[in-house]
């Protein structure tokens, strides 16, 4: 058994990798789940966990700017996570790699998820704020409109900027430059 963890920038994803991820998304969520990763996650990076060269899990992190109380924070938005075979530990390896990278970069990482995934994220090392998405607004760069998503739990790994601690103490909202990822 040979396990590999491979990280690559979105711009370097191959057609095979893109098709593989989209096929898995379509299997789970239907044909509207296809994503143009090179557009949506253009500045991000993907992690692939492989066994004997076969992809077992994958996920993405991308830079996101967040404004809170007139201070700008640069965090990593976490998303697109999926294990091909469930409950075999592949999701845990993927997130161990993500958290290691966040620690090395000294960055906070944030994802939004549904209630049924909370136990998983907790057991792989993140903290949880139920309904945490309500503390965020996405500012549309064209219309300047603040966009609100009413449903989503926040999972996070917090580093030295202490952004999430500050956000949860503050009455203010966090304004992101990236639509809910």
Ligand X SMILES: CC(C)(COP(=O)(O)OP(=O)(O)OC[C@H]1O[C@@H](n2cnc3c(N)ncnc32)[C@H](O)[C@@H]1OP(=O)(O)O)[C@@H](O)C(=O)NCCC(=O)NCCS
88 counts as binding ligand X under rule CB under 6 A: yes
3-state SS class at 61: strand
Closest to ligand X by CB, 127 or 166: 127
Q: Applying CB under 6 A, which part among 11-19, 34-42, 76-84, 162-170 lies near ligand X?
A: 76-84
Q: In the bound complex, what is the minimum distance in angstroms from residue 98's beta carbon to ligand X?
A: 12
φ, ψ (nearest 5 deg) of residue 90 = -70, -35
Our CB check for ligand X shows the closer of 20 and 166 to be 20
Q: Scan residues 114-133 and list those touching ligand X (CB under 6 A).
A: 117, 119-120, 123-124
Cβ closest to ligand X, residue 4 vs residue 69: 4
Q: What's the CA angle centered on 122, arms 117 and 127, to 5 degrees?
A: 110
Asked if residues 83 and 90 have their Cβ atoms less than 8 Å apart, the reply is yes
| CB-closest chain residue to ligand X | 91
Do residues 98 and 47 touch, judged by C-beta distance below 8 A? yes
CB of 82 to ligand X, least distance (A): 4
Cβ contacts of residue 140 below 8 Å, gap of 6+? 146, 147, 179
Q: Are 57 and 39 in contact (CB under 8 A)?
A: no
Rule CB under 6 A: say whether 82 interacts with ligand X.
Answer: yes
Pick from 92, 134, 135, 166 the residue near ligand X by CB under 6 A.
Answer: 92
């Amino acid at each position: 058994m040979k396990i590999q963890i491979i990280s690559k920038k979105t711009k370097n994803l191959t057609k095979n990798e893109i098709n593989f991820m989209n096929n898995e998304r379509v299997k789970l969520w239907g044909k509207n789940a296809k994503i143009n990763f090179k557009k949506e996650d253009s500045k991000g990076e993907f992690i692939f966990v492989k066994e004997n060269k076969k992809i077992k899990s994958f996920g993405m992190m991308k830079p996101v700017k967040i404004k809170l109380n007139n201070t700008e924070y640069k965090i990593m938005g976490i998303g697109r996570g999926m294990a091909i075979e469930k409950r075999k530990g592949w999701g845990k390896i993927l997130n161990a790699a993500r958290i290691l990278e966040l620690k090395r970069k000294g960055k906070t990482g944030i994802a939004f998820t549904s209630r049924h995934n909370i136990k998983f994220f907790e057991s792989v090392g993140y903290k949880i704020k139920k309904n945490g998405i309500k503390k965020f607004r996405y500012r549309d760069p064209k219309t300047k409109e603040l966009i609100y998503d009413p449903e989503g739990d926040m999972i996070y790994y917090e580093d030295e900027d202490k952004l999430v601690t500050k956000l949860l103490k503050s009455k203010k909202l966090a304004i992101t430059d990236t639509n809910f990822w």
